[in-house]
Amino acid sequence: MEQTKQQPQSILGLPLNELIHEFLKAGFSKLDAKRVFPWIHTKLAMSFDEMSDVPKQVRTNLPKFFSLDRPVCKILQESSDGTAKALLEFTDENCVETVFIPDERRNTICISSQVGCLIGCKFCNTGTQQFRRNLTSSEIMAQIIYWIERQKHLGNPPITNIVFMGMGEPLLNSKNLFATLEILLSKKTYDFSRNKITVSTSGIITEAITDLAKFGVKLAISLHAPNDKLRSELMPINNKYKIAEILSASKKYLKQSNTNHITFEYLLLYDVNDYDECAIQLADLLKSFGNKCRVNLIVFNNWDGSQFIGSSNDRVNQFSKILLSKGIRTIIRKSRGRDIMAACGQLKSSDKK
């Protein structure tokens, strides 16, 4: 039987040591890999033919084994507030959504780590989509490259901040997340500041969070409730990792990562978790962090089929006022891209259940 031709491997998300390993396996040299690597990231080469310092015979053979292809942008939507959302399709026809959020002082991109999500938070649209698979490091990196290239094409200021808060749970795809972080933080490539990268987690308290601390990036914990009973109702993952364990792991992360603070995200849902008593309980939970924590209050962004509605502005302001009075640094996060379903909790790349 005729053997199926193997598809070239994308190398957009391979750190240099992994790129060298793959090149050696394919019969190329370590020097070839070292020459190719900066072309991928500092020059954003679209093809191997552009790599003028790579021997011609090597350039000719590389496409047989490796690819620099970008995912296809199936849909690009732009919000009235300047936010943009792209639906990117990969070679197996799976898609993810990724978001660009401009501001006066920064340009932030929100990156997905999985097709669908396994966590199943009751308030999140992504959780209604069937989990398909983890993204490879090249697929994660491809989202970042997409926005970098778009900004350059438009002649706009560069990307300044990256948040891994899109579709999926980043710490359930830690290997590929870490490969991406290694590339982003390298002085030989993008040289991002660790303070400009945030990884969000629903509270996966495994060795992954300890390994993440080695990168020193910011950590955001999706808390959304001040007690285990309510949090378990909203986030089934709390049946495995309780609030006390999450807070303990957060304090360890602070020490190991040498970051300034942990961000706790709290989505305000009307008549669910927005009572004064909830704010008081939350303040009591976090008071031991002192000035090493910050609460981001998020107004619920509606989506079709949701059982929840967002808290009123008065309720949000009252909740914030209580936290601030208790000494908890609190910010009310402004929702962006609601009109194109690009705001927090709205991302979904498939209608298939």
Active site residue 245: no
- Which candidate in 117, 121, 278, 344 is catalytic? 344
Radius of gyration of the chain (CA): 21
DSSP of 160-187: -EEEE-SSS-GGGGHHHHHHHHHHHH-T
Buried b (16+ CB within 10 A) or exposed e, 94-131: bbbbbbbbbeeeebbbbbbbbbbbebebbbbbbbbbeb
Active site residue 344: yes
Residues 6 or more apart in contact with residue 85 via CB below 8 angstroms: 76, 77, 79, 97, 98, 99, 100, 337, 340, 341, 342, 347
167 alpha carbon, distance to own chain's centre: 7
CB 176 within 8 A of CB 135: yes
The crossing angle, in degrees rounded to 10, of helices 313-325 and 276-286 is: 30
- Token pair for residue 163? 């948040």
CB 239 within 8 A of CB 270: no
- Separation of alpha carbons 200 and 278, rounded Å: 22
- Which candidate in 97, 169, 182, 265 is catalytic? 97
C-alpha pair distances (Å), 97 with each of 22, 26, 117, 118, 140: 29, 33, 13, 16, 11
Burial (0-12, 13-18, 19+ Cβ within 10 Å), 352: exposed
Residue from 84, 215, 95 nearest 159 by CA = 84
Name the amino acid, one letter, at 263: T
Catalytic residues: 97, 344
